[in-house]
Amino acid sequence: MKKHFPAILLLTLIVFSCGRKPADQKLVQFKGVAFGTYYSVSYYEGEAVDYQESIDSLFSVFNQSLSYYNPASLISQINRGEADQPDDFFRPVFIRAWEISAESGGAFDATVSPLVNAWGFGFKNKEEVTPALIDSLLEFVGFEKVYLADDRIVKLDDRVQFDFNAIAKGYAADVAGAFLESKGIEVYLVEIGGDLLARGVKPDGSHWRIGLELPAETMDSPQEWNYMVEIRDNGVATSGNYRRYFEENGQRYSHTIDPQTGYPVKHNLLSVSVFAPDAMSADAYATAFMVMGLDKALAFVEAREELDAYFISSNEEGEFTSLASSGLSLKSKSN
Ligand code: AMP
Ligand code: MG
């Protein structure tokens, strides 16, 4: 029996590779507009079927549920207290937002909406922000003031409002990925405004790769991708942008709010890219890490095997520095 084993193994390998016909897979790529940004989709499919129309309709249904800017969306209705039943988009986002809020000690908190508006990052104009205003808004900020019971969103304070802007874009990439998988597609990359989900190995045996920027010396230096990272079944999301922030009295502010204080975060971490098993988690963790700051965020990532991150900070002299977590294998672009 023993001597037949290699033959059987070889046959199994041949059948396996014939069954998958990797060389027959054709690359399909398209770009579009969604969620106020650009998206792009790439995948390998035997017949090169183009699913752009389906993806566009999927994003439009998604928006009817989670668009913060559409007054008729489910999230807007829930925010106004006119609805309390989650749908199949709202429910998973609410549950993951709840989990990551708890895990991050409240650094990620999707009830920051009133603070986001007060600081002028939402749809309202920036108000005159006073400590008294922040205190009054903090009364109804906090994920501990909401829960899900019998498939209803319960608010312990009627004024609680949700802002899923820090998690929904990632989830949209996951939803598009799940749609492609339902069509039998196993190798794909869905990218929405820089956040993405990549799965599978390409027919030539290579992995999807993305570029990471080594911080430029000055704000105006041209953008360069200095590192390549292979993505193996990961979601990737970036929060912050070391080139974009606003400065007041010499202090840099990002668009991320610390839900504990009610103020925009003020530390030297300017941008973080997170690698997680799915894009929704990567998106939420990236926002959480901007609130935590470099030291806490790095410790958080190193304690979790499924997470990696690439940080860009500014030092005392105002120079940019970068740091990658230990699991991230960066290849310089020339390789
Ligand atoms: P992102 O680019 O994914 O970090 O999302 C930033 C957006 O998330 C902001 O424009 C706000 O709408 C919202 N946001 C700000 N601070 C927080 C926070 N601490 N937790 C959750 N969402 C936040
Ligand atoms: Mg985010």
pLDDT digits (tens, 9 = 90+) for 52-81: 999 999 999 999 999 988 999 999 999 999
Question: Model confidence at 4, in pLDDT bands (50, 70, 90)?
Answer: very low
**Residues 77-136 pLDDT 10s:** 999 999 999 999 999 999 999 999 999 999 999 999 899 888 876 545 565 788 999 999
Contact residues of ligand 1, CB 6 A cut-off: 108-110, 112, 116, 121, 163, 165-166, 239, 255-257, 259, 283, 286-287, 291
- Please check whether residue 143 is in contact with residue 101, taking contact to mean a CB–CB distance below 8 angstroms: yes
Name the residue with the closest Cα to ligand 1, atom 5: 166
List the structure tokens of 36.
């106020």
The pLDDT of residue 211 is: 86
pLDDT at 213 over 70: yes
Pairing verdict, β 26-34 and 37-45:
antiparallel
pLDDT at 217 over 70: no
List the structure tokens of 11.
């046959």
**Gap between the Cα atoms of 55 and 178, Å rounded:** 11
Torsion of the alpha carbons at 213, 230, 43 and 273, rounded to the nearest 10: -40
Cα 13 to chain centroid distance, Å, stands at: 37
Average pLDDT over residues 274-298: 97
Rounded alpha-carbon distances, angstroms, from residue 257 to 6, 94, 251: 60, 19, 15
**Atom in ligand 1 nearest the alpha carbon of residue 122:** 12
Least reliable range by pLDDT among 21-30, 149-158, 247-256, 315-324: 247-256
**Average pLDDT in the chain:** 87
Name the residue with the closest Cα to ligand 1, atom 15: 256
pLDDT at 316 over 90: no
**Atom in ligand 1 nearest the alpha carbon of residue 97:** 21
The pLDDT of residue 264 is: 86
Average pLDDT over residues 205-233: 79
Residue owning tokens 């925009």: 264
pTM: 0.89
Secondary structure element (H or E) that encloses residue 256, with its range: none
- In the reported structure, the alpha carbon of residue 282 is separated from the centroid of ligand 2 by a whole-number distance in angstroms of 7
At 27, is the secondary structure helix, strand, or coil? strand
- In the reported structure, the alpha carbon of residue 53 is separated from the centroid of ligand 1 by a whole-number distance in angstroms of 29
List the structure tokens of 259.
């839900």
pLDDT at 239 over 70: yes
Question: Model confidence at 6, in pLDDT bands (50, 70, 90)?
Answer: very low
pLDDT at 176 over 50: yes
The pLDDT of residue 222 is: 66
Give the orientation angle of helix 168-182 with respect to helix 90-103, to 10 degrees: 130
**Gap between the Cα atoms of 265 and 142, Å rounded:** 17
10 Å CB burial of residue 193 (0-12, 13-18, 19+) is middle
Among 29-38, 125-134, 223-232, top mean pLDDT goes to 29-38
**Atom in ligand 1 nearest the alpha carbon of residue 291:** 19
The pLDDT of residue 12 is: 33
Average pLDDT over residues 180-191: 97
- In the reported structure, the alpha carbon of residue 108 is separated from the centroid of ligand 2 by a whole-number distance in angstroms of 9
**Atom in ligand 1 nearest the alpha carbon of residue 290:** 4
At 121, is the secondary structure helix, strand, or coil? coil
The pLDDT of residue 251 is: 62
**Atom in ligand 1 nearest the alpha carbon of residue 109:** 20
Question: Model confidence at 314, in pLDDT bands (50, 70, 90)?
Answer: confident
The pLDDT of residue 256 is: 86
- Please check whether residue 170 is in contact with residue 193, taking contact to mean a CB–CB distance below 8 angstroms: no
Least reliable range by pLDDT among 180-184, 252-256, 317-321: 252-256
**Gap between the Cα atoms of 111 and 126, Å rounded:** 18
- In the reported structure, the alpha carbon of residue 23 is separated from the centroid of ligand 2 by a whole-number distance in angstroms of 37
Q: How much of the chain exceeds pLDDT 70, in percent?
A: 83
**Gap between the Cα atoms of 309 and 293, Å rounded:** 12
- Site to probe by mutation for ligand 1, drawn from 67, 138, 163, 167 as the one with most ligand atoms within 8 Å of Cβ, is 163
- Sequence-distant (6+) residues with CB within 8 A of 334 are none
Average pLDDT over residues 31-48: 95
- In the reported structure, the alpha carbon of residue 287 is separated from the centroid of ligand 1 by a whole-number distance in angstroms of 6
- In the reported structure, the alpha carbon of residue 40 is separated from the centroid of ligand 2 by a whole-number distance in angstroms of 18
- Site to probe by mutation for ligand 1, drawn from 256, 281, 311 as the one with most ligand atoms within 8 Å of Cβ, is 256
Q: Greater confidence, 100 or 317?
A: 100
Q: Greater confidence, 195 or 316?
A: 195
List the structure tokens of 187.
């190798």
Name the residue with the closest Cα to ligand 1, atom 8: 166
- In the reported structure, the alpha carbon of residue 92 is separated from the centroid of ligand 2 by a whole-number distance in angstroms of 15
Residue owning tokens 């059948």: 15
- In the reported structure, the alpha carbon of residue 109 is separated from the centroid of ligand 2 by a whole-number distance in angstroms of 11
The pLDDT of residue 15 is: 34
**Atom in ligand 1 nearest the alpha carbon of residue 121:** 10
